[in-house]
Amino acid sequence: MDEPDIEYIKKEKIAKREYQINIFKSVKDSNALVILPTGLGKTIIAIFVMAYRVNKGKVIFLAPTKPLCEQHYASIKELTTIDDVYIITGEKARKDKRKEIYEKARVIVATPQTVKNDIEIVPWNDVSLVIFDEVHRCVGNYAYVEIARVCREKGIQMLGLTASPGSEYSKLKEVIEHLAVEKIEVRTEKDRDVMPYIPYRRMKWLLIPMPEEVKILSKKIDVMLREMLQELKKATGIKASRITKKMLIELQKKLQEGSRTGSFYTLISLVSAMIKLYHLKELLTSQGVEAAKNYLDKLEEDKSRAAERIRKHEMFAEIKRRIRGMIYENPKMEVAERILRKHFLEREDARAIVFAEYRDTIDALVKRFNEIEGIRAAKFIGQAGGHGKGMSQDEQKQVIKLFKEGKYNVLVSTSIGEEGIDIPATSLVLFYEPVPSAIRHIQRRGRTARGGMPGEVYILIVKGSRDEAYYWSSRRKEAKMMKQIMRLKEMLERERMKKAKIKKGQAKLDYFV
């Protein structure tokens, strides 16, 4: 295996990995998209390309968040000898100071919003490469799109990195068009040049029976939803025999964007009431009785017309009474505790990350896990949003630091733990509920079996709940994503061959002329 002989790389700091070298050699002179599962070192490939290109001009390394920018900045300083590396995340308020940095820096690590705001002061003619981390965000109105437009106009090389670009063909194509991608390099854990570097990972999904009383109450909520659906059909003329929460949220958005005629408020309250009922059902079946009780408290306090509509329904009083009277907890809680106990008994060096969707659930899990001997759990959540207090970026960094040092050995995290953030390798990842997104599913499981440490992944699914639908949805989307990537890769290869053929034909013509 030939090691790339690149100036500025500290070779003693980077372990040789065949697939990283192969990908670097393929993309170093092209606009490219690199798709590599979490934990396999996309940043290393980016640093190889950066070191290769930096003598030809400045390099801008973009990442969506300040912590991720700080992580990349630290990696560049640790793994290269490049001077004049600067980080800009929007906190340097004075534009003239930022302009100074853009002028003198050889490498700039920045958030996309900052660079978008500074587009007119960035010396684009001196830039040779822009790296887009988490490039699946390069769609719609995200700041990446505007920056990519400038790069196309100026002929600047672009490199996109992602663990999963998503399963929608239109969005994949949009990313490729924005970056003017010429090459796609994709690897999975099953590829020949990747397999030697992947520790063993065991995937296991556990189907948990839904308690009978929960089944009964779930069906009663369905009766309320069916009645409301009939009312919705009369008002809107929709033909659907059944309607999902996602469809309702989309309908609610369309209504809010439309004109507010006399029937608007009746219709919006009906749709909102159905969304609230769906949410109650999801909490009851997937999160447990305590989560449902907490939501009932919120419904009691809710002054909206939608909540009033629910409270006035003749069946709701019985549903509320029976939920309040239930005393057993979510069986998932017991299963999660059992998995952690067993894992930590079997492994002296155990580290775990538990993903859960709701902050109330996270608080309950942290409390329960900390009652287990040998487990030191901490929550890891995003900044304040919705109800309740979130964690500041400084608090998040402190929790990660203590997790690295071993003061905590279990993180209970929302989706913030999925993307980008440098969480140390764990021996166990537990999905408290599945996620319907292929991107999030891949990112979560990639948090284990890294750095030579074997790992386990458990996914908890309550039979008959939305958990089952979410699990199969993520599986289907992942398979679809790989098909779409290969389809686009083949399309780019055909275009490349066509251009090469035209170029060859033109060369022959020039020769005879």
Per-residue pLDDT for 17 more than 90?
Answer: no
Whether residue 160 is found in the same domain as residue 87: yes
Q: What's the pLDDT band for 233 if we cut at 50, 70, 90?
A: confident
Considering the domain boundaries, does residue 113 fall inside one? yes
Position 267 scores a pLDDT of: 87
Report the domain count for the chain: 3
Per-residue pLDDT for 412 more than 60?
Answer: yes
Share of the chain above pLDDT 90, in %: 46
Position 87 scores a pLDDT of: 94
Position 86 scores a pLDDT of: 95
Q: What's the pLDDT band for 47 if we cut at 50, 70, 90?
A: very high
Whether residue 155 is found in the same domain as residue 134: yes
Q: Mind listing the pLDDT tens digit for each residue in 482-511?
A: 787 888 878 787 777 776 666 666 655 554
Considering the domain boundaries, does residue 499 fall inside one? no
Whether residue 48 is found in the same domain as residue 189: yes
Considering the domain boundaries, does residue 283 fall inside one? yes
Q: Mind listing the pLDDT tens digit for each residue in 310-339?
A: 999 999 999 999 999 988 777 889 999 999
Considering the domain boundaries, does residue 319 fall inside one? yes
Give the pairing of strands 410-413 and 377-380: parallel
Concatenated DSSP letters for 247-305?
HHHHHHHHHHHS---TTHHHHHHHHHHHHHHHHHHHIIIII-HHHHHHHHHHHHH--SH
Whether residue 95 is found in the same domain as residue 237: no
b/e burial code for range 315-334 (CB count within 10 A of at least 16 → b): ebeebbeebeebeeebbbbe
Task: Specify the DSSP element, H or E, that contains 214.
Answer: helix 212-236
**Residue where a domain stops, chosen among 427, 447, 467:** 467
**Residue where a domain stops, chosen among 168, 197, 226:** 197
Considering the domain boundaries, does residue 89 fall inside one? yes
Helices 359-369 and 289-301 cross at an angle (nearest 10°) of: 140
Whether residue 182 is found in the same domain as residue 216: no
CB 59 within 8 A of CB 50: yes
Considering the domain boundaries, does residue 495 fall inside one? no
Q: Tell me the chain's radius of gyration from C-alpha atoms.
A: 26
Per-residue pLDDT for 378 more than 50?
Answer: yes
Least confident of 72-81, 248-257, 280-289: 248-257
The Cα-based distances of 63 to 34, 72, 83, 434 in angstroms read 15, 8, 20, 27
Six-digit token string for 175: 């990313």
Position 262 scores a pLDDT of: 60
Q: What's the whole-number mean pLDDT along residues 474-487?
A: 79
Position 181 scores a pLDDT of: 93
Whether residue 60 is found in the same domain as residue 19: yes
Whether residue 114 is found in the same domain as residue 92: yes
CATH number for the domain including 184?
3.40.50.300
Q: What's the whole-number mean pLDDT along residues 227-242?
A: 81
Six-digit token string for 219: 């069906």
Q: Mind listing the pLDDT tens digit for each residue in 55-64?
A: 999 999 999 9
Q: 3-class SS at 437?
A: coil
Share of the chain above pLDDT 70, in %: 87
DSSP assigned state of 56: G
Whether residue 140 is found in the same domain as residue 218: no
Least confident of 128-132, 282-286, 395-399, 438-442: 438-442
**Residue where a domain stops, chosen among 325, 356, 389:** 325
d(CA 111, CA 393): 15
Position 161 scores a pLDDT of: 95
Q: What's the pLDDT band for 418 if we cut at 50, 70, 90?
A: low
Half-sphere exposure of 73 (CA within 13 A, CB side): 18
Considering the domain boundaries, does residue 494 fall inside one? no
Q: What's the whole-number mean pLDDT along residues 262-285?
A: 88
d(CA 73, CA 69): 6
Task: Specify the DSSP element, H or E, that contains 208.
Answer: strand 201-208
Considering the domain boundaries, does residue 477 fall inside one? no
> Residue 106 belongs to what domain range?
11-197
Position 395 scores a pLDDT of: 87
Per-residue pLDDT for 480 more than 50?
Answer: yes
d(CA 183, CA 321): 60
Q: What's the pLDDT band for 145 if we cut at 50, 70, 90?
A: very high
Whether residue 102 is found in the same domain as residue 182: yes
Whether residue 313 is found in the same domain as residue 218: yes
Q: What is the largest CA-CA distance in the chain?
A: 92
Six-digit token string for 81: 């000898």
Position 501 scores a pLDDT of: 67
Q: What's the pLDDT band for 37 if we cut at 50, 70, 90?
A: confident
Q: 3-class SS at 129?
A: strand
CB 126 within 8 A of CB 99: no
Q: 3-class SS at 493?
A: helix
Whether residue 90 is found in the same domain as residue 144: yes
CATH number for the domain including 253?
1.20.1320.20
Q: Mind listing the pLDDT tens digit for each residue in 177-218?
A: 999 999 999 887 778 888 787 766 678 888 999 989 999 999
Mean pLDDT, the chain, whole residue set: 85
d(CA 389, CA 394): 14
Three-state secondary structure of 132-193: ECCHHHCCCCCHHHHHHHHHHHHCCEEEEEECCCCCCHHHHHHHHHHCCCCEEEECCCCCCC
Whether residue 58 is found in the same domain as residue 159: yes
To the question of pTM greater than 0.85 for the whole model, the response is no
Q: What's the pLDDT band for 449 if we cut at 50, 70, 90?
A: low
